[in-house]
Amino acid sequence: MNISIRQLTAFIKVADNGSFTRASDQMHLTQSAVSGLIKELESSLGIVLFDRTTRQLSLSAVGRHLLPQARRILNEMQLFENEASSLTSLAQGQVRLAVSQFAASSMPAVIAQFAQQHPEIGVSLLDCSAENLLKHVQDIEVDLGVGTELEFMETEDDIRADLLYQLPFCVVMPDTHALAQKPEITWQDLLDIPLITLQGPFIEKVTAELDDRIAAHIQQARYKVNFMSTALEMTRQGFGITLCLPYMPEVIDWVSANGLQMRPLAQPVKMRQFFIYQRSSRALSPATIAFKEFLQTYFSSHFNDLQRI
């Protein structure tokens, strides 16, 4: 059985008009073409849809029974076309996003601004550990993932990674600290100064390719905490100085407003890269494409400028 939309349309038009002639006018077809569509449909179904006489055309008993179902099918097809058109035009859609720790801090502001431009597109946010971010992308639990290059090191061939932005490692200290008076602060300058650091992968990335003595000093920091907010507050209270990424403008503003300085570390300048991850083999929806492009534009204007702090 091979029933076409044109056949169902012809069935409904002829039934509504009680005439092949009027139906053909509405469908912009010849009368013989419309008659042919009805015959094809009847042949495919093995039934008679219309009782025909020389004076009158009327629905058969079977035709009257099937007409409402034919209308429902065409209505569903119209709904399908409207839905596809809406998604293509970004009139609606859903984006599923996973972000790791540092990216999660800035993402609510991004989503809020995106919603102003595309109020009909919903964005769901899953904050997760760096270790689990790629798994969510690989398992298609999310459309996009945003995280650091540490996650990319374990990627599979089916994962595409686009650089989103990169930020320098910085040191945060009170305005009154001796290092705050130096025109340039190097990693060597951190030796013999009490440090406050984050635990976990952050330390591994900080110490990679540093001099062994400096790396050991950072790894054996006097204070190790789980959250950057804790490290910054301990720095403000004079427990030591901390290492930080300028991952949010709000963080930089808080540092300045609380008698602290955030300065990039030199010799060497070390950068942390952040990527957008997606499945290479999976086509993104128009809504997801729009959100990805918005992310790239947003961070280009808001975060790359932070490299010059």
Q: Are strands 144-148 and 223-225 parallel, antiparallel or unpaired?
A: unpaired
d(CA 222, CA 300) in angstroms, rounded, equals 36
> What pLDDT is attached to residue 212?
93
User: Over pLDDT 70: what percentage of the chain?
Assistant: 92
Per DSSP, what are the bridge partners of residue 224?
197
The region of weakest confidence among 197-201, 271-275, 285-289 is: 197-201
Instruction: Residue 265: name the closest of 198, 177, 167 by CA.
Output: 167
Say if CB 263 and CB 171 are below 8 A apart: yes
Provide the pLDDT confidence category of residue 204 given band limits of 50, 70 and 90: confident
Say if CB 173 and CB 235 are below 8 A apart: yes
What burial class does residue 293 get, using C-beta atoms within 10 Å of its C-beta: 0-12 exposed, 13-18 middle, 19+ buried? exposed
Strand runs (DSSP E) across 118-188, as ranges? Answer: 121-127, 144-148, 159-168, 170-174, 185-186
Instruction: Identify the residue with better confidence: 100 or 250.
Output: 100
The region of weakest confidence among 5-9, 138-142, 204-208, 302-306 is: 302-306
Which phi and psi (to 5°) does residue 160 adopt? Answer: -105, 135
Instruction: Residue 239: name the closest of 225, 222, 227, 254 by CA.
Output: 222
73, 185, 226, 266 from 240: Cα distances, Å: 71, 16, 16, 19
> What pLDDT is attached to residue 86?
65
d(CA 245, CA 97) in angstroms, rounded, equals 22
Contacts of 192 (CB under 8 A, 6+ apart): 217
- Three-state secondary structure call for residue 225: strand
Q: Are strands 271-279 and 185-186 parallel, antiparallel or unpaired?
A: unpaired
Residue type, 125: L
Average pLDDT over residues 127-133: 83
DSSP codes joined into one string, 52-73: E-SS-EEE-HHHHHHHHHHHHH
- Three-state secondary structure call for residue 133: helix
Contacts of 143 (CB under 8 A, 6+ apart): 95, 96, 97, 278, 284, 285, 288
Residue whose structure tokens are 């300028």: 246
Instruction: Residue 246: name the closest of 164, 151, 165 by CA.
Output: 165
d(CA 210, CA 268) in angstroms, rounded, equals 8
Q: pTM value?
A: 0.64
Sheet containing 144-148: give its strands across. 121-127, 93-99, 144-148, 271-279, 159-168
The region of weakest confidence among 3-12, 23-32, 272-281 is: 272-281
Instruction: Residue 137: name the closest of 181, 175, 97 by CA.
Output: 97
Average pLDDT over residues 262-283: 90
